[in-house]
Chain A
């Protein structure tokens, strides 16, 4: 059974435009998103800004109320629980955010930061509390000397470790990682990724990994869901998708990512057009305005996910169509 099962998740926001209550627009942040994560594995939600990956993650964490759909965590449907019951269940899901500094209260010491979940949910105090805090810090490579300092005295990488230690304090089963290394330098990122991988093996953690950097995703994820403008366009085992991407957007995303490998020089491809607004998403397949293989049906009907090879694709193109001809080649 999956640790986390999300079905037809939809999150819409109403925003008021202009003065008065006249015009209310709906932001279609997430639409009919379904995915599942097996315990001990990492599922990556990938996409560019506005694709809804962060919103979907927030919905899983119950920070945002879903407009429709179900979220089953550890077998329990989160949507029809009371807030107290939900708090109890959600003890097993924690989060690490992107910006290491703003995810830690600058006025709190490292000890208090890591102790906060323990005080709130495990009702620990005194020696027991301090011992547990210390063991969490040691797990992420920090020590007693860091216990009483504040976040502004640390580097980005160290702050992220503190955030990870805090997330693990309650022994969660699921950790949601929202772009945990995007704000870090390359060498620091490597350390954090190695740490996360190590912790996953040792503690049997399950990760929901939000990212826009495909190289990072490639190194961490077992399975992957590519999102565009609120919908999942392709999902499946990471190796499959990286090896044989089918959806034109997935191909474009992979090809747009500049590879540091000098042998792959000149392989970058460009996808034209801008990301349209989530307030009035295009009719039919939301990717159709930018899709180089757009057909008539794409502008009217939204494609449903169907299995191709080992993964699910939401596209009207026939299964044998070679989408790798996407985009123009970059000059060298």
Chain B
């Protein structure tokens, strides 16, 4: 037996050995799914493009919105790889500049939703009673509407802008997570390890933070991976109908909208932006599938 003086606090690496082992194993499982890896590669590629955009875009000032009316509506060529739009702006540059927005939106919005929805769900599920009832009824009201309609209503109140579109999506989406986590909390609060914690005198909020929420993460992460793609689509959708990003910002949804009138003859104006959205959302979905395989042990047969 060692006395308190002679014991050194265990090395940081030793303490988290278990976590490292698990992480290493999970990464291995993830990488078995080739499509998920492809999705991840696409996302990383998009991130890189978003960061170094101003330096690699052939016509950065047009990416930011400056028009060049002398070169309007040109088909894809060596000079403009994706053609130009109705203001003469190089589509490729605008696609590159537009990459930042969905990435920022998807992460910021999804995290905000989770940070709001998850604790409320955990508290409601754990304590039950009146608070739970009230929260569930509020969620029911929100969930009765298709979330996009609800977001439109919110933006209508707040005024069209990208920032307000983000706020609107956050406000219409958080109940999903609350309900998800509340369901998990109701079943987890009966678990023996929660009862043991109560017997040990651990406070209720500590129990929620240490026992309920960490063990609810599985379904939450799965839901997040499904939602990130949908959030991107929602934001693009709002921009498409004019309630999100406003011109002259290069936002993919907005670009599709601007290309709508020209779709028959100058298809490139909207099509490339649309393709970009499609590829990025697909990439997130593929990564989501891969993550689900990691998190759900039953699918590892």
Contacts and interface: CB of A to CB of B under 8 A. Distances in A.
Do A and B interact directly, with beta carbons closer than 8 Å? Answer: yes
Interface of A: 58, 61-63, 87, 90-91, 93-95, 97-99, 102-109, 111, 116-117, 120-121, 126-128, 130-131, 134-135, 138, 147-150, 153, 163, 166, 170
A105 B193 contact: yes
A233 B1 CA distance: 47
B4 interface: yes
Nearest to A97: B192
A139 B76 CA distance: 77
Given A97-B192, A97-B195, A120-B206, A127 B215 contact: no
A170 B193 CA distance: 17
Contacts of B211: 105
A130 B199 contact: no
Which 9 pairs between the two chains have the least Cβ-Cβ distance? Answer: A117-B200, A103-B192, A131-B4, A97-B192, A120-B202, A105-B193, A121-B201, A87-B201, A107-B214
A99 B196 CA distance: 12
Contact of B201 (A103, A106, A111, A117): A117
B9 A127 contact: yes
B10 A91 contact: no
Q: Is the interface of B mostly helix, strand, loop or mixed?
A: helix
Contact of B4 (A61, A120, A128): A128
A130 B196 contact: no
16 contacts: A58-B195, A61-B199, A90-B199, A91-B201, A94-B200, A104-B193, A105-B215, A111-B15, A116-B197, A116-B202, A120-B200, A120-B201, A127-B7, A148-B16, A150-B18, A153-B18
Nearest to A117: B200
Nearest to B13: A148
B17 interface: yes
A126 B10 CA distance: 10
Given A63-B199, A116-B210, A130-B7, 15 more contacts: A63-B198, A91-B201, A98-B192, A99-B192, A103-B192, A105-B193, A105-B211, A109-B18, A111-B15, A120-B197, A120-B201, A127-B5, A149-B18, A150-B18, A170-B200
Nearest to B190: A102
A115 to B, nearest CB: 10
Contacts of B14: 148
Contacts of A108: 210
A58 B3 CA distance: 37
Nearest to B214: A107
Interface in B81-101: none
Interface in B191-240: 191-193, 195-203, 206, 210-211, 214-215
A126 B201 contact: no
Contacts of A147: 10
A134 to B, nearest CB: 7
A131 B191 CA distance: 29
Contacts of A58: 195
B299 to A, nearest CB: 18
A99 B200 CA distance: 18
A94 B199 contact: yes
B70 interface: no
Contact of A102 (B4, B7, B193, B210): B193
A116 to B, nearest CB: 6
Given A97-B192, A97-B195, A127 B4 contact: yes
A102 B191 CA distance: 7
A91 B10 CA distance: 28
B41 to A, nearest CB: 30
Contact of B196 (A103, A138, A153): A103
Given A99-B192, A109-B15, A131-B3, A93 B199 contact: yes
A214 to B, nearest CB: 24
A107 B211 CA distance: 8
B200 A121 contact: yes
B160 to A, nearest CB: 43
B200 A116 contact: yes
Contacts of A103: 192-193, 196
A194 B15 CA distance: 31
A105 B197 CA distance: 10
B256 to A, nearest CB: 43
Interface string B110-129: 00000000000000000000
B77 interface: no
A156 B203 CA distance: 28
Nearest to A120: B202
Contacts of B206: 120
B184 to A, nearest CB: 13
Nearest to B200: A117
A95 B191 CA distance: 14
A126 B215 CA distance: 26
